Amino acid sequence: MRHSWWRWLLGVIAVLVIFLPSVGWMQQRITQYKTNYRTPLNPTIMVPGSSASQNRFDTLITQLRKETKASHSVLKVKVAENGQISYTGSIRQGDNQPFIVIAFENNRDGYENINKQAKWLSLAIKDLVKTYHFNHFSALGHSNGGLILSLFLEKDFPQIKHVAIDKLMTIATPYNMESDSTTTRTAILKELVAGRSNLPKKLTVYSVAGTENYSSDGTVPANSVNQGKYVFQNQVAHYTQITVTGDDTTHSDLPQNKQIVLLIRQYLLQENLPAKDRYQRPSKNQQRSITGETGLP
């Protein structure tokens, strides 16, 4: 065997040429799986507005349960002024779309309070992630609840690792507080606009306004809701404004308004609604499989 060392060398080179790149490829794939992985648990976090308790969404939840024919379990969370978190209800085993309502002991209105509430929200969400191990969620905010969520998304959310928010729906959220002005910005709007680049880039936002007349839902001016565009537009993946009129469109009725319930089902819970109930989608959502293209035929 004259050439035997030659063949051995060739064999070793061949093995290395296959082996080394494949190890690199493997590590890259695994990181990819880890970043693309989404837990089956996909809660909807609901934040009520000022002066409302953790029971604010009960009517809405009853209605959603009845209409979706799914018994979404409900976990109610209350954060005390000192940051202490108390829970009522539970997430049922096997329920992947539970509702989590987060309310605050100090539920007063005002710039200072809303900023504090955003801090408390982040405490609660961190605790929930640690307990239930979900890595993505959707959120629903009514009135000032939308402000709390938006502030949280800009300030504390980027610091929470490995958790993503898919969709945010705010109902009658006064981005410019009680101001009807389209030019002067209140402190909270200034703050939201200043921090808007911290918003998650893949987020889809729906801002729903109700109007009793041409300018207001009785409490929040339509112009104030409209100011949301200065926060979200061009910052998140999609920002959609929807205005609902008709029966039950006063500010406090909005969460149980029939049209809004349908919007919640369609956009937040991603149900397939019958065509007659459906709102025209702004864009097609494509679900990607976590196995990507390596999946075999």
Partner 1 sequence: MGRWQPLRGLWRINQRMEQWRAMRAIKEALRVAYPFILVMTLVDVVGQSFLASSGFFYQIYHIGSWLPGIDLWQQFFQALSLVVNGVVAVIVAFTTGHYLARTYRGDALAVGVMSALAFLSLNVNYDMLGMPNSESEGMSLFVENNLGPQGIFLAIVVGLAVGWLGSHLMASLTNWQQRHPRFGQMSWASRVAWPTIFVLIITVALGYGFSWFTDGGMNDLVYQALSAVVVNPGHRGFMILGITTLSNILWWLGFIGPVSLAGNSSVTSLQNLAYAVQHGSGWDAPNAVTLHTLGDAYANFGGAGMTLALLIAIGLVSKQASYRRVAGQTFLPNLVNLNEPTLLGLPVLYNPILLIPFLVAPAVNIVLAWFAITWKLVPPIVYPVPRTTPGPLIAFLGTGGDWRALLLSLVCLTISVLIYIPFVRLLNHEGGEDHAA
Give the interface with partner 1 as residue ranges (CB under 8 A).
18-19, 21-27, 29-30, 33-34, 37, 39-40, 133, 290-291, 293-297
Which CB sits closer to partner 1, 33 or 111?
33
Q: Comparing C-alpha atoms, which of 81, 51, 229 is closest to residue 142? A: 51
Cβ–Cβ < 8 Å for 188, 228: no
Smallest gap from Cβ 38 to partner 1, in A, equals 9
At closest approach, how far in Å is the CB of 21 from partner 1? Answer: 4
The least CB distance from residue 1 to partner 1, in Å, is 14
Nearer to partner 1, 26 or 80 (CB): 26
Quick one: 275 or 296, whose CB is closer to partner 1?
296
- Residue 73 CB, nearest distance to partner 1 (Å)? 21
Judged by beta carbon, residue 4 or residue 294, the one nearer partner 1 is 294
Shortest CB 129 distance to partner 1, Å: 13
- The nearest distance, CB 205 to partner 1, in angstroms, is 28
Closest to partner 1 by CB, 38 vs 258, is 38
Q: What is the 3-state secondary structure (H, E, C) of the chain?
A: CCCHHHHHHHHHHHHHHHHHHHHHHHHHHHHHHHHHCCCCCCCEEEECCCCCCCCCCHHHHHHHHHHHCCCCCEEEEEECCCCCEEEEECCCCCCCCCEEEEEECCCCCCHHHHHHHHHHHHHHHHHHHHHHCCCEEEEEEECHHHHHHHHHHHHCHHHCCCCEEEEEEEECCCCCCCCCCCCCCCHHHHHHHHCHHHCCCCCEEEEEEEECCCCECCCCEHHHHHCHHHHHCCCCCEEEEEEEECCCCCHHHHHHCHHHHHHHHHHHCCCCCCHHHCCCCCCCCCCCCCCHHHCCC
The CB-of-43 to partner 1 minimum distance in angstroms stands at 17
Residue number, 9 or 20, with CB nearest to partner 1: 20
Joined together, the tokens standing for residue 227 give 């100011």
Whichever of 37 and 111 has its CB closer to partner 1, that residue is 37
